[in-house]
Structure 1
Amino acid sequence: MFARGETIIQLMERLAPKHYAVPDDKIGLQVGSAAKPIGRVLIALDVNAEVVEEATKIGAELIIAHHAVIYRPLAHLRTDTPAGALAASLLRNDIAVYVSHTNLDTADGGMNDWMAEALQLVGREVLEEVHTDQLFKLVVFVPQTHQDKVRAALFGAGAGWIGNYSHCSFNTEGTGTFEPREGTDPFIGKQGKLEHVAEIRIETVVPQSVRKAVIAAMLKAHPYEEVAYDLYPMDLKGRSFGLGRVGVLDTPESLDQFAERVKSAFDVPFVRLVGDGSRQIRKVAVLGGSGGRYIRHASFAGADVLVTGDIDYHTAQDAEAMGLAVIDPGHNAEKIMKAKTAEWLQQQLKEKGYTTEIFASQVNTEPFKLR
């Protein structure tokens, strides 16, 4: 059975929730419709004519891209312009495009974690905080016979985390009362009779990012026809998510040696360096895409080097002056997301019994060439 486009998008937004994106980022469904079964999905860094041709050849009905296909406002949709021709080709071939950009960069287990893992950084922390998951207290009343089942459902959906402690809850015994009225189908008791039931008040913590999933899991596991529960915000700060990662190498190495590591990790033919090649590197900041504006963040975090793309001349001079080395592997280093996203999404679909196939684009969208 093929997954519908909406289902695939819901899975992507479990990995990279839309509220993780920076303000005004161009994300979400940009072209076509997701209201259809999808047999094949193509994961791409960019969407250009070659990528659309690739999608057409493999029969993909949906492209999940990192970079927006519609980034700047369109004053018109003329098919004699590159943007118009691209949109026309997508619509003609009934190919939808969904974009996951800075929300995928920010996500735990997303772009910047993949890049940090590829560089073998340990002890990783966020470089620049973008979003903090608001925490909620969930209170639900459950008959004693079903308390274990409901708690397991809550924890399995992501509730119950406080710092690095999982399965956190507080449980109080009590007596619940209710009288089933006409038209009800009570799990316990009979219509028109006041019932007194031994119940457990379960309290646990729920992050905003999994709130809907936790409530759905709770309702599914709970035996009652009408579930009594409360959900209210907490002042306790939840987990922080953000752009870039800072970590350390197990063993220090020279800037020149580390540059070779960067080339291999991101499969790029060259990098641009700022700094003395013999300098020893231990603490590393990495940020996918254009990260020149984060040189001060990297320096403040104590990084020896910032790995990011699209560094301009004056930013390089500023980094050099503050003693921060820079390695620029280009914006296209983000192509690491193609295989990683495809692998993650295929596994999610397989676990749910869908036969939709996921493909990582083989098109190289790097516009720069060396001569």
Structure 2
Amino acid sequence: MARVTLGELIAVLDAAYPPSLAESWDSVGLVCGDPGEAVSRVMFAVDATAAVVDEAIGWGAQALVVHHPLLLRGVDTVAASTPKGALLHRLIRNGCALFTAHTNADSADPGVSDALAHALGLRVSGPLEPKSAAGVDQWTVNVPLEHADAVLSALFSAGAGGSGNYGEAAWRAPGTQQFRPLPGAEPALGRIGQLERVAEERIEVVAPPSARGAVLAALRAAHPYEEPAYHVTERAALRTGQGLGRVGELPEPETLRRFTARVRAALPGTVWGVRAAGDPERRISTVAVCGGAGDSFLGTVRRLGVDAYVTADLRHHPVDEHLRAGGPALVDAAHWATEQPWCAQAEGIVRFGLPALETRVSTLRTDPWTVGTVD
């Protein structure tokens, strides 16, 4: 069996759930573990509870991948005498790394809400709150033919030329540049007052706006002209398939009563169960979903005009006000239950990227509620 390192596992997870998608307040990535160590077994769970850590260690996992961060807020100790410190010490002593994919997994495409939508049988059309593509500059540079390779190499070294999974990408086309040096100029070619025509290449490359200063400095240093001819344009921010929540459609319309039963059957059982707010006979066709706490999107789903919204942790007053404002029906499930389908999604991504690994989704319910009653 081929040796797989923790670093390789992290690379697969980061590609699927880019850390750059995480919210500014979040804490994602490797919590403990050595990227150079070998891994052969990986377990997936929503939470790194004591029981889940015991399950992972008992199975012989070298990595535990979870959704909820164990260390979300700043700490000044991970001593074994503290609850979270005790878990970290137990993981480290048993050679099991801990990795978190939280809001980056929420916004990824596919992500947490895709897994929830898939479990409910929805045809997803896009995010509930789309993220825009990262900004990018397009640089257009004219350069004499004999200097084109050198200038292009300098641009690449400064951070230009990246496009998705490709590097050193450029468009090159021949042409003729003309100019007339005026008094005070120090032309590399031509004479003051005389019109000059030079065979040149037009080079086009893209670069992140953050590299703008470095790219310009590299261009000026490598270009033979006193005043290089260049132009920079910034691409408009375009929506992507990434973002929080998802909007989808049922294969066939059904009543809210029946749709609520669909949600209950699709998600793992909890004491919290599944409850709905709205007319039980309301016709449901278009549905918005958000794994985890999603009451911040109540205004968004009203504007979108969907028929129902599935999420977790809904509260009395916001729900009441939402319904009185004419918003869609609401279906509220346990926080853990709406995010648990993600575990299978993450496992599938790792299996595809690293087929030599043995993987497993935790069998434990980490929803904290243990007793429920119905009047």
Q: What range describes the TM-score normalised by the shorter chain of this pair?
A: 0.7 to 0.9
Partner of 1:342: 347
Q: Residues 233 and 264 of structure 1: is their aligned pair in 2 closer, same or farther, counting only changes over 3 Å?
A: farther
Q: Is the 8 A contact 2:138 2:235 kept in 1?
A: no
- Residue correspondence of structure 1 range 76-155 to structure 2 within 5 A: 76-122=77-123, 124-135=125-136, 137=138
CA distance in 1, matches of 2:132, 2:32: 27
Q: Which has the higher Rg, Structure 1 or Structure 2?
A: 2
2: CA distance, partners of 1:274 / 1:206: 49
**CA separation in 2, counterparts of 1:205 and 1:277?**
53
Aligned-pair CA distance for 1:132 = 2.7
SS at match of 1:364: coil
Using the TM superposition, give the Cα deviation of residue 39 of structure 1 relative to its aligned residue in structure 2, in angstroms: 1.4
- How far apart are residue 250 of structure 1 and its match? 3.1
Separation in 1, partners of 2:164, 2:300 = 36
Further displaced range: 124-133 or 304-313: 124-133
User: 1:65-122, CA deviations, whole angstroms, 9 ceiling, x for partnerless residues?
Assistant: 1000112333433433322322221122122111101111101111112222222323
2:44–2:64 CA contact under 8 A, matched in 1: yes
How far, CA to CA, are the matches of 1:233 and 1:53 in structure 2? 54
Specify the SS of the correspondent of 1:358: strand
Distance of 2:107 and 2:25 partners within structure 1:
15
**Structure 2 unmatched ranges of 5 or more:** 141-147, 150-161, 176-200, 210-229
Runs of 4 or more, structure 1, over 6 Å off, are 168-171, 200-208
SS of 2:342 mapped into structure 1: helix
Check conservation: 1:252, 1:282, Cα contact below 8 A.
yes
Residue aligning to 1:288: 291
Q: Cα distance 1:262–1:171, how it changes in 2: closer, same or farther (>3 A)? A: farther
1:26-65 to 2 correspondence within 5 Å?
26-65=27-66
**Which residue does the alignment assign to 2:236?**
236
CA contact (8 A) 2:22 2:102 kept: yes
Please state if 1:331 is matched with 2:332. Answer: no
The equivalent position to 2:277 in structure 1, one of 264, 274, 279, is: 274
- 1:34 deviates by 2.2
The count of corresponding residues between Structure 1 and Structure 2 is 307
If the length of structure 2 is used for normalisation, what is the TM-score?
0.72
Give the aligned residue type for 1:349.
L
- 2:322 matched residue in structure 1: 319
- What does residue 196 of structure 1 align with? none
Asked if structure 2 preserves the Cα contact closer than 8 Å seen for 1:158 and 1:206, the reply is: no
Counterpart contact for 1:44–1:51, Cα < 8 Å: yes
TM-aligned CA distance change 1:131 to 1:100, over 3 Å:
farther
Deviation at 1:328, TM superposition (A): 0.9
Mapping 1:174-323, distance limit 5 Å: 234-240=234-240, 241-268=242-269, 270-323=273-326
Q: What is the Cα deviation at residue 339 of structure 1?
A: 1.3
CA distance in 1, matches of 2:30, 2:94: 16
Q: Check whether the contact 1:66–1:99 (CA below 8 A) recurs between aligned residues.
A: yes
Q: 1:2·1:356 contact (CA, 8 Å) conserved in 2?
A: no
1:298-329 deviation per Cα after TM superposition (whole angstroms, max 9, x unaligned): 11111221100111112221222222311011
Identical columns (%): 32
Q: Distance in 2 between matches of 1:363 and 1:206?
A: 46
Amino acid at match of 1:54: E
Alpha-carbon distance, 1:169 to partner: 9.4
3-state SS of 1:51 partner: helix
Is the CA contact 2:256–2:282 (under 8 Å) kept in the aligned structure 1? yes
In 2: Cα distance, 1:238 partner to 1:51 partner: 40
The SS at the match of 1:252 is strand
Q: Deviations over 1:245-282 (max 9, x none)?
A: 11222322111111111112223352021111111112
**Pair 1:57–1:281, CA change in 2 (3 A):** same
Q: 1:173 to 1:43 in 2, by over 3 A?
A: farther
Contact 1:134–1:233 (CA under 8 A) maintained in structure 2: no
Query: Counterparts of 2:239 and 2:30 in 1: how far apart (Å)?
Result: 27
Do 2:117 and 2:124's aligned partners in 1 also have CA atoms closer than 8 Å? no
Determine the C-alpha separation between the residues in 1 that align with 2:58 and 2:99.
19
CA drift at 1:204: 7.9
Q: TM-score, normalised by structure 1?
A: 0.73
Aligned mates of 1:255, 1:235 — CA distance in 2: 43
1: CA distance between counterparts of 2:351 and 2:293?
A: 29
Indicate conservation of the 8 Å contact 1:122/1:250, yes or no.
Answer: yes
Partner residue, 1:14: 15
Any conservation in 2 of the 1:22–1:130 contact (CA below 8 Å)? no
